[in-house]
């Protein structure tokens, strides 16, 4: 199967230019000047499919490197399966995800890894890889890290919060980071001071402050900044590269920026919710409505300037990429578990379908450039997690993961509009985007085109990742 994308404007992280893109089978065969012939052949006459991208951008498929499909949490499960979540991702221009294998205390890490393969295999609409969560670092955990690297799982996440569920103490984190320094793994951190948060939560509940708004107040920026600093110090001591997930507080960004200024391999991601949503407007919604936006780290106060600082940090590369932390829960029967006690609301927001659009709106609004849009959502995730060259770029030899994006189009987000996630509400209800995903191609197959889903369950394959390609 050969596909020619003609007359488009190709956008890579390195620049923008008019070009035609030829996909042969599952890979990009050539990037040519518009209307070129190839060795004397008329390309358009010798392909199976022609996509006319006149007036549109041709970009590498998005890579969402932080998702939680079917994740067990808080007495329930994330509502998106690998089938529904990856199909929604495809609708939104994302052609690869990296999901988290969950290990709770006393669970065998390798058993959990194989369980996640069983969940995903044959169900995904797009390509997928795995990170591994480590909840209690023992000798067996360190051995498993080496084994998983051989399996293409080259990044490991630890938590400084959720006592009895995920939390590792500093000594356990130190041991895991020492292993990462020796085997090349990228160490990922949920950076919040869990002990501080647990006290603040208990005090709020005892005082009768039980609404979703208090989820944000009991996870203050100081808890995020302190934990981020502590993780950086452990990384500095051991020499392990550190990737801080879902950064939401400007003070945490400042810690990351200072570490990078010292030459450390310290990186950070943020998420669309920390760029657009806020403590006052969403978590503070009347009644129990704020539960829709309960996530951790929490939404921050717009009055304190966190959202503005996040956009700035994306421009200056103090934060390197944008993922979603996609962990959706329905209001009915799931978020409702926290009525009368915000600490029982399952933590998570569904965004995997909307990340590319929401970040493109940042281009329209003058927050980031076109090339930076692609860099943040595709190229850097590929480099950070050992996929670059195969993913994250429009160039010969790369996988045929290509999105045709129409800047003259329009996207209305919300239930009954653009919403294919397995949720009974949209965290992005009413958002309007000055752009539209027109065509999505995954490894050479057109899976979304002109408002129709053409893909199938099982189109996606497991991606065996290499070590990070983003290190200093």
> Residue 161 in contact with residue 194, Cβ under 8 Å?
yes
Mean per-residue pLDDT of the chain: 97
Q: Are residues 271 and 326 in the same domain?
A: yes
Please report which helix (H) or strand (E) contains residue 238, including its range: helix 221-238
Structural domain includes residue 390: no
Q: Is residue 206 part of a domain?
A: yes
pLDDT at residue 36, as a whole number: 79
> Mean of the pLDDT values across residues 43-49?
89
- Residue at 464 is within a domain: no
Residue 75: what pLDDT?
A: 86
> Residues 409-439: pLDDT tens digits?
999 999 989 999 999 999 999 999 999 999 9
Give domain status of residue 431, yes or no: yes
**For residue 156, which of 94, 113, 93 has the smallest C-alpha distance?**
113
What pLDDT does 40 receive?
64
- What pLDDT is recorded for position 42? 81
Dist CA 349 CA 217 (whole Å): 18
Say if residue 253 is in the same domain as residue 352: yes
Q: Which residues of 413-426 are buried (b: 16+ CB within 10 A; e: fewer)?
A: beeeebbbbbbebb
132 and 38 part of one domain: no
- State the pairing for strand pair 76-77/72-73: antiparallel
Q: What is the pTM of this model?
A: 0.98
Residues 298-339 pLDDT 10s: 999 999 999 999 999 999 999 999 999 999 999 999 999 999
pLDDT of residue 303: 98
Q: Are residues 37 and 182 in the same domain?
A: no
Same domain, 216 and 363: yes
Strand partners, 99: 67, 130
Q: Are residues 243 and 299 in the same domain?
A: yes
Q: For residue 156, what is the domain's CATH number?
A: 3.20.20.140
157 domain-assigned: yes
pLDDT in tens, 174-227: 999 999 999 999 999 999 999 999 999 999 999 999 999 999 999 999 999 999
pLDDT (mean) for 54-64: 98
Let me know whether 48 and 104 are in one domain.
Answer: no
Range of the domain at 339: 61-385
CATH of the domain at 403: 2.30.40.10
Distance CA 332, CA 425 (A): 10
- Answer whether residue 37 shows pLDDT above 90: no
pLDDT at residue 43 in the model: 85
Residues 6+ apart with CB under 8 A from 107: 135
3-state secondary structure of 208: coil
Pair type for strands 445-449 and 94-101: unpaired
- The answer to whether the CB of 379 falls within 8 A of the CB of 8 is no
Dig out the tokens for 316 from the structure: 């200056």
CA atoms within 13 A on the CB side of 242: 33
Residues 298 and 234 placed together within one structural domain of the fold = yes
What is the number of domains present in the chain?
2
Residue 461 belongs to some domain of the structure: no
Whether residues 345 and 442 fall in one domain: no
At 35 the pLDDT is 79
Give the mean pLDDT of 125-133. Answer: 98
**Do 263 and 232 have their domain in common?**
yes
Q: Would you say residue 165 lies in a domain?
A: yes
Q: Distance between CA atoms of 365 and 354, rounded to whole angstroms?
A: 17
414 occurs within a structural domain: no
- Are residues 51 and 88 both part of a single domain? no
Whether residue 160 sits in one domain with residue 113:
yes
Residue 348 pLDDT greater than 70, yes or no: yes
């Amino acid at each position: 199967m050969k596909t020619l994308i003609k007359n488009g404007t190709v956008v890579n992280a390195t620049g923008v230019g008019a070009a035609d893109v030829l996909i042969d089978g599952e890979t990009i065969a050539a990037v040519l000047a518009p209307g070129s012939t190839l060795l004397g052949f008329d390309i358009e006459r010798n392909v199976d499919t022609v996509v006319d991208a006149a007036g549109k951008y041709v970009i590498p498929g998005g890579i969402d490197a932080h998702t939680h499909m079917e994740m067990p949490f808080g007495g329930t499960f994330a509502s998106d399966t690998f089938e529904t979540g990856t199909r929604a991702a495809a609708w939104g221009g994302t052609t690869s995800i990296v999901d988290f294998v969950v290990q709770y205390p006393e669970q065998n890490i390798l058993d959990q890894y194989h369980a996640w393969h069983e969940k995903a295999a044959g169900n995904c609409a797009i390509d997928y890889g795995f990170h591994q969560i480590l909840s209690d670092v023992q000798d067996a955990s360190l051995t498993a890290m080496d084994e998983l690297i051989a399996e293409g799982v080259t990044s490991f996440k630890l938590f400084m919060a959720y006592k009895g569920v995920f939390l590792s103490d500093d000594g356990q984190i130190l041991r895991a980071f020492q292993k990462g320094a020796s085997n090349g793994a990228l160490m990922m951190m949920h950076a919040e001071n869990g002990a501080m948060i647990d006290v603040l939560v208990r005090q709020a509940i005892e005082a009768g402050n039980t609404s979703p708004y208090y989820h944000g107040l009991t996870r203050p920026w100081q808890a995020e900044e302190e934990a981020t600093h502590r993780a950086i110090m452990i990384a500095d001591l051991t020499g392990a590269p550190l990737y801080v997930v879902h950064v939401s507080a400007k003070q945490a960004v400042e810690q990351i920026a200072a570490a990078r200024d010292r030459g450390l391999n310290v990186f950070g991601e943020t998420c669309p919710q920390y760029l657009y949503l806020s403590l006052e407007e969403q978590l503070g919604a009347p009644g129990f409505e704020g539960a829709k936006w309960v996530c951790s780290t929490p939404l921050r106060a717009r009055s304190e300037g966190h959202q503005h600082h996040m956009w700035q940090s994306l421009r200056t590369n103090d934060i390197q990429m944008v993922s979603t932390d996609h962990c959706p829960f329905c209001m009915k029967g799931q978020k409702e578990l926290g009525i009368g006690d915000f600490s029982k609301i399952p933590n998570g927001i569904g965004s995997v379908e909307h990340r590319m659009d929401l970040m493109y709106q940042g281009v329209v609004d003058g927050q980031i450039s076109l090339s930076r849009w692609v860099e943040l959502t595709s190229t850097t995730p590929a480099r950070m997690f050992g996929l670059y060259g195969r993913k994250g770029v429009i160039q010969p030899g790369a996988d045929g993961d290509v999105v045709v994006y129409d800047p003259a189009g329009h996207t209305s987000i919300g239930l009954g509009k653009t919403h294919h996630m397995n949720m009974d509400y949209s965290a992005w209800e009413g958002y309007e985007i000055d752009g539209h995903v027109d065509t999505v191609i995954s490894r050479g197959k057109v899976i979304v085109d002109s408002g129709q889903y053409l893909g199938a369950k099982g189109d996606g394959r497991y991606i065996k990742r290499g070590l990070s390609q983003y290190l200093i």
